[in-house]
Structures are given as C-alpha cells and as structure tokens.
Structure 1
C-alpha cells in the first residue's frame, strides 16, 4: 500500500458513509465527517469537480473537520460510488448535478446538523451551479476553488485549442463508440456519463456555464436572485480558471457580493498549483487559505 493510499484509507475510516436520496429518486453516496476540534463553524458542503471522486477530498475534509466544521462530501450521479450499473447506461446530465444532486446534498446536511445555513465549498464545477439551486438561500457563503465557466474563449490560445479538441471532438466520439465520455484518456478525471460529457463541451463553448441549462426555463433560473457572498480562489498557473473565465462565472451572479483571488504558487513555496492540486496533501500549505475564505477572513 502506498503512502497516499494509506492516508486516504485512514481518512475514509474516520468518515461516516451516508446515503442521500434526490427528488427524482436517484441515490448518491457520500461521507460525513463531524467537527472534531478547532473553533466551531457552520457545516461545509464540499462539492467535487467534474470527474473527480469524493475520495480525492477526504484528507482535506478530515483536516477541515479538525478546524471545527461538520463536512459532507459526495459523488454526483454517474460518478464513483454514485454510479449504479454500467456507465453507458447512466442518464445523468451535468445540470442534474446542480438541480438535483447539490440540492439534495444541501438539504441532507441541513437536516443532519440541524442548522439553518451551510457553507458551500466547490471545486471547479462544484462552485459553478448555485444558480440552479432553488435552496440557494441556505448557503451562507460560497467559496469556489479553481471555479470558472471554462469558457474556451477565455483561455490562452494553445490550451483553448487543446480543450476544444478534447471536449468537442474526443468526448463526442467516445459517446458515439463507447456510450460515455472518455475523459480519462484526456487526463480529465473519471470517465463521464454521455449526458454530462455532452453538456460540458456545450457549456464551455458557449460561456456562461450553467446559465445554458435554463435558457428556455426562466422559472428554474436563480442566478439573478443569488445574494450569497462568494470568493473564488484560482491559481496563476491554472489553464482553465483564468482571470477571463473566472470573470465570466462571476458576472452570472449580478446581485452577489463577490471577489476573485489569484494565487501565485511561488508565494507559498510551491512550484505549481494548477487546477487540481489545491486539495492534495502536498499542497496543505494552501488549506488555511481555503478555511479562511469559508469564514470570510480573506
């Protein structure tokens, strides 16, 4: 067993495996970690990035619980422990992760902790969909790590071409021949349900991200109503969450108090941070910054 696997196993052992039922009957699997020290704070709903399993966040979630927060992390439908049956049979759409999965996880955490509000910590896509949540008013503060719209036109040219090739050609071909998005071959996390992969490419091409899910359904669009204070942390070496793509996300919440903080790896003794590494044990020096943003001290 590697050191990384051992650490992940210990973190999982300290967490309670939980079952979350969505409004449409879909069942999600998550882990709940009760606060175990530090100054008591609001519960934290940790929403993963696209194609990233909940186990990736367990060591960070364990640390956050030690800072005084109850923490819930989960897998979206069609991913990790929330994939039931063959991936090609999954009917999950990207919008379902917001409209159904995050809504249910938020309600579960409120019920479990008997609190009126929680903090939402979203990694990439995990922070992009609060405008799809009818219960968005239950979120006291949102912190997005590497959060942006992933808008192709907001990326530097070289990476933009690479992203278009992957999301608009390779993933559709994978859906055609395999029945699911072959994101793993692109180094983009877990393979994805076809509906998720398809919308991912469409939304990144269009800009505005989750606003594309409800253009024809204004009654399901809460973007203009969201007044939750939000902070986005993004790395200077992140090819996806760039200043332009972060701004494209924040503009979709006109009524919210919001700020974006661009973090340079060298200022924290790191060679790189990128889009994913914030939650790795090797980057634990960044964790107090995330905790501070959750408590509004950044």
Structure 2
C-alpha cells in the first residue's frame, strides 16, 4: 500500500488483514525503530494478523521503500518528520481501512518515542512501546555509553560533514541514515528527555500533557539503550497517561538474551504472546 503525508511525501507499507476478525475489531500500526526496515517485523505482523488483528507496517521517509531519492544523502527527512508526518498518515490510513475510529500504536524503540508530537493522537486507542525509551546515553551502562557517545558525538557528525549522510550499515546499526535524521538522533540522545529537547525550537506542537490513553512500555534488563533510567525518562513526559512498565529478565523466559531488537526474531517468538497481551488487554 501507499499513502501520502500531509506534506506530500509518499510512504510505502504492507497491510496484513486479520485472518478472522476478532469479536472486537482491532488494528495495530507497527512503527519501526531507527534505521530498521519494515521487513524486520514481517513474521510478528503475520502472527498478529492470524490472531485477528489488522496490522500495518511501513517504512519512514528516507528508509527502505520510502527512500525516493537517488541516495540517502539527498533525503531531507528529519526524525521529527517520522512522528509529526509519517505516523499520522499511517494512523489515518489504517483507521480508514479497518473502519475504526482508533487503532493501537505499537512502537519499537524510536517508534514508541513520538507519541507526544503526533497531531492526530486521538486516533490512538493505546500505545505499546517495546524497547522504547529516551535513549539518553548518560543512563546506559558505562561500556555502551562510551561506544554510543563515540558514534553519536563523533562518527555521525563527522560522517554527515564528509559524506553528507551517516553510513550505519558499515557498523551494524541498521540502514544508512539521512543527515537530518542522524543530526537529530545525536542531539536528542545527548540530554535527558529525547524529543522534549526539540520542543519550542524544531518542534512547535506538543501534546505530551494531553495524552490520557493507556501506555505500556516493555523492555529487557539486558537492553543497553532502553534501560530502567531511560524508560523512566520517557514515561515522565506523559503525566496524564495510564502508564505501565514491564521489565523482562531473559532467563525467566528461557532465553539467554533479549536486548534491544531480539523481541521480533523468530527465535524469540515465545515473547510474542506477552506483546499481544499488551495490545489486547
């Protein structure tokens, strides 16, 4: 499927209609992490559709099928555009396709960080954030703090300046990023609050205080990014929301590792009923 955002950008997604509709119809918008293409969530999306949910995945502007420029260095995408333009457009498409007033926003990592800047937030029935946090490097373990600090404060600005974009595939950090995305990612992770650091400057519309919906945040103890401190740093931005935080210990689920992205791998599908429960309760 394709849809066009309010500012005229065409986005590409994949729709997984419910195999058999639930007694109470449900639709789930899966919002990707930074630099992760929608295909990474295919197995999980198919599994959810088999449980009776309409499911939509998509690529943000500047990523995967939604990169329309000849090279990522030419993309004008910014991180804030993902929250202010791309997610809203997909919320509208999914609500219209499913015939529902509200849908579930299911965000992985960055996908769960933008809820407070989404202008049509009233389309969201509930938000489930998996490994979603502010990502502030100061709240990460020391070894990761040193690594992430080097990447965010040295590698990204240098790569942007020399190459005009940030090659993340070289270092195993997902898809190559448009310069505007990398710039804001570096800036937002350098201080507590993440997207809140751009409020009043790059971002003028702020809905954090108005959100009263249920929000569930699920993270693993071995995640060096979505640590307890960083999850708490994100949840504090939603004072009126109904917040619930679940912290997973890999061994309690028969796993050696969960980390930041393994939730959606087939090897970890034993976790999927837990994620579905957060959607369906």
**Structure 1: which 5+ residue stretches go unaligned?**
1-17
Asked if 1:280 is matched to 2:280, the reply is: no
Asked if 1:26 is matched to 2:5, the reply is: no
Equivalences for residues 74-89 of structure 1 within 5 A:
74-85=58-69, 86-89=71-74
State the match for 2:279 in structure 1: 294
Asked if 1:36 is matched to 2:40, the reply is: no
Asked if 1:68 is matched to 2:52, the reply is: yes
Contact kept, 8 Å, 1:235 with 1:273, in 2: the verdict is: yes
CA distance, structure 2, for counterparts of residue 267 and residue 34 of structure 1:
33
CA distance, structure 2, for counterparts of residue 218 and residue 31 of structure 1:
29
CA distance, structure 1, for counterparts of residue 278 and residue 221 of structure 2:
18
Equivalences for residues 146-161 of structure 1 within 5 A:
146-161=131-146
Q: Which secondary structure state, in structure 1, belongs to the residue aligned with residue 30 of structure 2?
A: strand
Contact kept, 8 Å, 2:80 with 2:203, in 1: the verdict is: no
Q: Which secondary structure state, in structure 1, belongs to the residue aligned with residue 184 of structure 2?
A: helix
Alpha-carbon shift at residue 217 of structure 1 (Å) = 7.1
Contact kept, 8 Å, 1:265 with 1:273, in 2: the verdict is: yes
Count the aligned residue pairs: 279
Alpha-carbon shift at residue 147 of structure 1 (Å) = 0.5
TM-score, with length taken from structure 1? 0.91
Equivalences for residues 169-208 of structure 1 within 5 A:
169-208=154-193
TM-score, with length taken from structure 2? 0.96
Asked if 1:141 is matched to 2:126, the reply is: yes
Q: 1:109 aligns with which of 83, 94, 111?
A: 94
- For residues 235-263 of structure 1, the C-alpha deviation after alignment (integer angstroms, 9 at most, x for no partner) is 11100000000000000111101011110
**Structure 2: which 5+ residue stretches go unaligned?**
none
